[in-house]
Amino acid sequence: MLSVPTLWTVFVANFLALGLIWAYVARSYPKFVAARFWMGSAFVGVAGAMAALLRLFIDSPVPIVVGAAGIIAACCLAAMGIQRFYDRPVSWRLMSATTMLSIAAILVFLLGFDQVQLRMVSYTLGQAVPLVLALPLLLSPPEGRVSPGARLSAIVILTMIGMFVVRTAGNLLGYDFSAQGGGQVHGFLVLVLLFLSMTLNFGFLLMAMDRLRAEVADLALLDDLTGVANRRHLLQRLTEECARSERSGAPFSLLVIDLDGFKAINDTHGHAAGDACLQHFTLMAQTRLRPGDMLARTGGDEFCVVLPSSSLREAATIARRVLEVCRQDAEACTGSEIPIAISIGVAQWDRGIGEFPDRLMANADHALYAAKKNGKNDFAVYDPSPPLSPEPICRGEAARNFG
């Protein structure tokens, strides 16, 4: 025999524990905003469950209304947490309107017209609507990959909606599945709701773990000082681009950039000033890159830029843009500001490079050496084929033979 008071007591204890877990997550990871909504959902659900427990012993409409309001608000907060998890704006107005309309309908069919079936329909809609609105984000997330936690949460929500449909149909057919009706059917529905609600929170926890694991993986691929990709990430990307070009024959290019006189900046102005120069250069360079281009810091004052689907001519154009923005910034420096000068080597993938990114980096390094030898604050492109006759080297424009 299912004891409804015992089930609601278990509901309160379990959701109190879940609320404390989400509170710890929210405190430990302040930027993880979804945790705050899921924490609120658990604690508000506790309040609703406690009111539902009291209405079994108190003959008053107050526990009924408070309990319904708590459960509906918990569903709204859970749905809002899903929206914030996927960086979607939440509508407090919509969720408040959903809760208020449901409670208003419950009051009408409780105090105005005592209709248990219609009251249960209003209660069910208040729970189901916010979850249905959040369901598409779980089934088709913006990043295109459904995580295991999101898949579990979607399955649970669909199951809950199915349970709501069955409960609503039963009430409309004349069966009283409410707390006032009592009976084993109501106890079974409370048990199913308890199980599904806990499983939904476990799905949220899996989503949080997957997100935090992805953030840790991203941090392992980023440079601490500048926030751009690090050498490890660069080598991964170059390996992927080389393999793609080997299959398709489509070109891509690489820029190798070095800050001229960076050691003198550190020696004269200190390492803090040198770090500021690296950060400032990163910001300037990113303004001249295209979506899809990847800027990486490979160490010290050395940077690389991966230019997918770009020919040598297109790469030279990008190099010229980065060089010009640095020159313009240096000309605008006054007083104690430190001008930044750079040299750039440009190289393009070819069949001889194959799937070996180190060969491409070596070619770009040869071009960088030529740019520095030519007076610095310039760029040069790598051309593996020697010219048919000697030609003058034009500053920053002509290809060079570095064989």
Summarised one tens digit per residue, pLDDT across range 270-285 is 999 999 999 999 999 9
Summarised one tens digit per residue, pLDDT across range 54-95 is 877 777 888 888 988 999 999 999 999 999 999 899 889 988
**Does residue 207 surpass a pLDDT of 90?**
yes
Q: Is the dihedral of CA 370, 322, 311, 352 positive or negative?
A: positive
Closest by alpha carbon to 85, among 205, 167, 200, 265?
A: 205
**Does residue 342 surpass a pLDDT of 70?**
yes
Query: Is the pTM above the cut of 0.75?
Result: no
**Does residue 393 surpass a pLDDT of 90?**
no
In the chain, the amino acid numbered 221 is: L
Mean of the pLDDT values across residues 333-349?
A: 90
Q: Give the pLDDT band of residue 4 (cuts 50, 70, 90).
A: confident
CA angle 375, 379, 384 (to 5 degrees): 110
Tell me the sheet residues that pair with 253.
307, 348
- Kindly list the distances between the CA atom of residue 118 and the CA atoms of 51, 56, 58, 60, 70, in Å, as whole numbers in the listed order: 21, 20, 22, 19, 19
Q: Give the pLDDT band of residue 396 (cuts 50, 70, 90).
A: very low
For residue 7, the model assigns a pLDDT of 81
Q: Give the pLDDT band of residue 397 (cuts 50, 70, 90).
A: very low
Give the E-state strand segments of 83-129 in sequence order: none
In the chain, the amino acid numbered 337 is: E
> Encoding tokens for residue 55?
């209405």
Mean of the pLDDT values across residues 141-165?
A: 88
Which of 30-34, 182-186, 395-399 has the lowest average pLDDT? 395-399
For residue 155, the model assigns a pLDDT of 95
CB neighbour class for 259 (10 Å; exposed up to 12, middle 13-18, buried from 19): buried
**Does residue 394 surpass a pLDDT of 50?**
no
